[in-house]
Chain A
Amino acid sequence: GDSVTQMEGPVTLSEEAFLTINCTYTATGYPSLFWYVQYPGEGLQLLLKATKADDKGSNKGFEATYRKETTSFHLEKGSVQVSDSAVYFCALRGNTGFQKLVFGTGTRLLVSP
């Protein structure tokens, strides 16, 4: 079945450092890919998404490119801020007709001043 693999955290960075959180997936066909962010005690917020190969999703300085050849959707940001500290989830929605999202295990990001 469909699955998502994320790098384990926590990822600890200093403010203004470069961020990469790796995400790879297994799915048949062409799934849609998402990054969600969860702040402490809250639900999930959509950060960005891509629906087809080579699409780049971007939002709030974060970017991720849908790479079909490497089945990856790595999240990047050029300069992180303390306010970016949160848990980041990579997810996919398959194209089998079912609408459910499949999530990775999440990666906690800690940014220090």
Chain B
Amino acid sequence: GAVVSQHPSWVICKSGTSVKIECRSLDFQATTMFWYRQFPKQSLMLMATSNEGSKATYEQGVEKDKFLINHASLTLSTLTVTSAHPEDSSFYICSALETVHYGYTFGSGTRLTVV
């Protein structure tokens, strides 16, 4: 079946630094990738939708200069949290969409802690 690899699974960084999270579809090409943020005991909040080779579409209220999304190929999307602050600490999950066979496949998530 379809597998999406998300790395790192957890990261601790200092306030003010930047962190990059990778989302890679291992055995299929994803037409679209999604980035979500999940707060403790809450649902997934869609942050942005990205298509290969084009700019990401951000949801209302999500700072695009803070959460940089790059979707350079059909198998790789990255989310960079720039100048991270403690309030950015959260669980980030990516999802890749392949419309013919697999539908939506989710990564295992990245726990970001900013200290």
Contact = CB atoms under 8 A, between A and B. Distances in A.
Interface of A: 34, 36, 41-46, 49, 89, 98-101, 103-106, 108
Interface stretch (B13-21, B61-69, B72-80, B101-109): B101-109
- Of A34, A46, A89, A108, which is in contact with the most chain B CB atoms at under 10 Å from its CB? A46
A97 to B, nearest CB: 12
B43 A99 contact: no
Interface of B: 4, 6, 32, 34, 41-44, 46, 49, 93, 95, 97, 99, 103-109, 111
Given A46-B104, A99-B97, A100-B34, A41 B42 contact: no
A46 B103 contact: yes
A99 B43 CA distance: 18
Contacts of B44: 44, 89, 103
Nearest to B1: A46
Contacts, number: 45
Contacts of A103: 43-44
Report the 7 A-B pairs with minimum CB-CB distance, sorted nearest first: A43-B106, A44-B106, A43-B108, A105-B43, A43-B109, A103-B43, A103-B44
A110 B79 CA distance: 33
A104 B43 contact: yes
Given A41-B111, A99-B99, 8 more contacts: A34-B104, A44-B106, A89-B44, A99-B49, A99-B97, A100-B46, A100-B49, A106-B42
A30 to B, nearest CB: 17
B96 to A, nearest CB: 11
